[in-house]
Amino acid sequence: MTHADTLATALIVDDTGRVVGVTARRHGEDLAYRARGAVVLTTGGFADNEEMLADHAPHLLAHGRVSDGLDDGSGIRMAAALGAATRRMGVVELALTALPALAVRGMLVNAHGRRFVNEDVYPGLFSVAAVLTQPAPYWVIVDEEGFEAVPERERWGVVPRFVSETLGELEGELGMPPGALESTVGTYNTHAARGQDPYFHKDAHWLRPLKGPFAAIDPRAGFHQGGRPSAGAGTGVAGFTLGGLRTTVDGAVLDVSGTVLPGLFAAGRAASGIHGEGYVSGTSLGDGTFFGRRAGAAAAAGLRSAP
């Protein structure tokens, strides 16, 4: 049986310390549910909880959130109230809305006009490199040939914010130190002419000298696929949390001493799952399905073995 519009508020434990149910609230009524076997927390992360973000992952505070608006950390907090341990609470997924097809044909630079990453890496890597280590705003610098090489339908509505015949004019438009962008592109072009990228090791397939006119694309505008701006519109960045409850491979929640909290399991973004310091698109499905199934099976096994 499923009860919609019902907010779980706290875990219930018996005299032995085993989790045996939850308290909840539905339409103004306080309820209590007794678990026949165990409680499995699949309540999501805490991207929508400003207080928890301030405590654990403040670098996400200013940016857009990839969530359904209900990632309030409630499951994590309920378990922590019983002494549950957490892991990697400061780790987040970050997505800078810099179109990879354009960035790889040009370069990604910081507010000072300096290149800082290999643009042909997974976008999550250049996003983290930008947001966590570089001064904003960030810009995709590309020339006319690179821009036109991407079919219009694959540009996701992205258009240049500034276009100039020379790099000197462009860096003035962007408020960069005089000569900074000219130096960056000049160094890039010198090595690209030889098919090399000794500083960041972009694949030779993408290397060629850039030549005017030049365009600066602002990730803060977001993507506009279908005429609608992306979640990153505003700062150009959106993300969600990856940290959560510490569990066994079967989803059993551990306390701060590493001991299993009996009767309590967690999976999905409520748990600190397979991710370390980074994220690859779609892997939340693994945390939710594969490890969710393991947690459910383990909880059910406990029910079958109960007297």
Q: For the segment 172-225, what is each residue's pLDDT rounded down to a tens digit? A: 999 999 999 999 999 999 999 999 999 999 999 999 999 999 999 999 988 865
Mean pLDDT of 7-11: 96
What pLDDT sits at residue 233? 56
Cite the beta strand spans of 73-223 per DSSP E.
Answer: 86-87, 92-96, 107-109, 139-143, 162-164, 214-217
What pLDDT sits at residue 285? 84
DSSP symbols for 34-72: E-SS-EEE----STT-HHHHHHH-GGGTTSEE-S-S---
Per-residue pLDDT at 306 exceeds 50:
no
Mean pLDDT of 292-296: 91
C-alpha–C-alpha distance, residues 45 and 274, integer Å: 14
Per-residue pLDDT at 273 exceeds 60:
yes
Query: What CA dihedral angle connects 288, 294, 295 and 296, to 10 degrees?
Result: 100
Domains of the chain in sequence order? 7-91+241-305 (3.50.50.60), 98-229 (3.90.700.10)
Res. 260 pLDDT band, cuts 50 70 90: very high
What pLDDT sits at residue 175? 96
What pLDDT sits at residue 166? 96
Per-residue pLDDT at 129 exceeds 50:
yes
Cα torsion angle, 292, 293, 299, 300, sign: positive
What pLDDT sits at residue 289? 85
Mean pLDDT of 80-91: 96
Among residues 220, 223, 222, the alpha carbon closest in space to that of 235 is found at 220
The gap from C-alpha 213 to its chain's centroid, in whole angstroms, comes to 34
Q: What number of CA atoms fall less than 13 Å from residue 51's CA on the CB side? A: 4
Beta carbons within 10 angstroms of residue 174's beta carbon: 21
Per-residue pLDDT at 267 exceeds 70:
yes
pTM of the model: 0.86
Which is more confidently placed, 285 or 172? Answer: 172
What pLDDT sits at residue 307? 40
Phi, psi dihedrals of residue 41, rounded to the nearest 5°: -90, 120
Beta-bridge partners for 271:
245
Contact 267, 285 (CB under 8 A): no
112-128: pLDDT as tens digits: 999 999 999 999 999 99
Contact 112, 184 (CB under 8 A): no
What pLDDT sits at residue 75? 97
What pLDDT sits at residue 305? 46
What pLDDT sits at residue 276? 77
Per-residue pLDDT at 293 exceeds 60:
yes
Res. 1 pLDDT band, cuts 50 70 90: confident
Res. 266 pLDDT band, cuts 50 70 90: very high
Mean pLDDT of 32-40: 93
Per-residue pLDDT at 226 exceeds 90:
no
What integer best gives the mean pLDDT of the chain? 92
Res. 228 pLDDT band, cuts 50 70 90: low
